Amino acid sequence: MMKPNTYSRKSLCFSFIVASTLSFSAVSVEKNDIPELALDLENVTVSGLSSGGYMATQFQLSHSDWVKGVGVIAGGPYFCAQGDITTALAQCVNKVEGDINLETLNDKAKQYASEGKIASLDNMKDAKVWLFHGTQDTRVVANVSDSLFEQYQMWTDTQNIAYINDKPMAHLFPTRDKGVNCMKSESPFIGNCDYDAAGAMLSHLIEGVATPDASLTGKIHSFDQQKIAGSDAKTLASEGFVYVPKSCEQGETCRAHISFHGCNQYADAVGDAYTTQTGLNEWADDNNIVVLYPQTKKSLFMPLNPQGCWDWWGYASSDYANKEGAQITAVKKILFSLNTRLPSKTKQGEADE
């Protein structure tokens, strides 16, 4: 394991460089015409970068009875911020003042489980966990990600956990050949690193995935997040996206994967970069996986979220880290709304009610 380092540079929700608004490229985006889908909602996987990594952990723990795998790039332990932005900046991003008390954080998880606010922690024993931290990442320091690794070891069989922390990469989503200089954390925070993080992650989370070919058969579709999720989506963007392989469009039962972007990586900031360049769509296309890309938005007013981060410190809801939180509830509603071919009970998202 890499030795943890500390840095003095402060940031808000990983202090991504503010990105200017980009237009969408020529990649086809079909508006509001999502085909009927049959989704396996008992074996969902999730992933995310940075604030999206924190959200992926929160979402998976909330629904670990049907979210069976999680991938986190440059994230920290569950409930690290403890509902306080000051704690978030002091211990969970680019420095760690004092020690991260995992016992306190785990006690909160146990409390939520006892209250029914997250699924039973017993589910975590068999969960698949893939973690990544680049050695050149100064936005989230190594000992923050190390603490997440240590926390998962308390819940999950070690054979089910992969932690990659020896690659010289900055704070971004590593790809084989897309994005910016791998050594720099620059918009759109997707790195040309000669490393297929999407493939490594999905190969660990899902047994038997096939290596994709170079072609894509599917399409990216847009949808109205606010219409689907109502008031729970008030801190989300109006538009979200989903990649649907042709096989899934034609009626095959498909898996679902949710990918949470990082701060300053929402669509209004980076265009279609996150929804098209991470490599997730290529793997999804050849493995019958629908990829959901929910979107946040920036806010310069209350609730304050100037960099469009996912809520991992409590700006949107005091229950931000459990299934009663607004954003977690909204994303679940969106996911289940896509499942239009299967019985109504499954479509309504009652699997864990």
Active-site positions read: 50, 137, 171
Task: Bin 25: left if φ > 0, else alpha if -120 < ψ < 50, else beta.
Answer: beta
Tokens representing 94 are 């680019």
How many whole angstroms separate alpha carbon 122 and alpha carbon 100?
23
How many whole angstroms separate alpha carbon 336 and alpha carbon 346?
7
How many whole angstroms separate alpha carbon 93 and alpha carbon 139?
6
- Helices then strands, counting H and E runs in the chain, come out as 12, 12
Question: What count of Cα atoms within 13 Å lies in the side-chain half-sphere of residue 78?
Answer: 29
Question: Which residues are registered as beta bridge partners of 191?
Answer: 174, 180
Calculate the alpha carbon distances from 255 to 118, 269, 323 in Å.
22, 29, 21
Helical spans, DSSP H, in 96-238: 102-114, 142-155, 197-205, 225-229
The number of beta carbons lying within 10 Å of the beta carbon of residue 33 is 9
Strand 161-164: give its sheet, edge to edge. 29-31, 219-224, 239-244, 289-293, 253-260, 38-49, 67-73, 128-132, 161-164
Please provide the distance, in angstroms rounded to a whole number, between the alpha carbons at the two ends of the chain: 40
Calculate the alpha carbon distances from 104 to 75, 78, 149, 265, 309 in Å.
18, 11, 16, 31, 24
* Residue 241, φ and ψ in degrees, nearest 5: -140, 155
* Residue 118, φ and ψ in degrees, nearest 5: -130, 160
Q: Which helix (H) or strand (E) holds 336?
A: helix 326-337
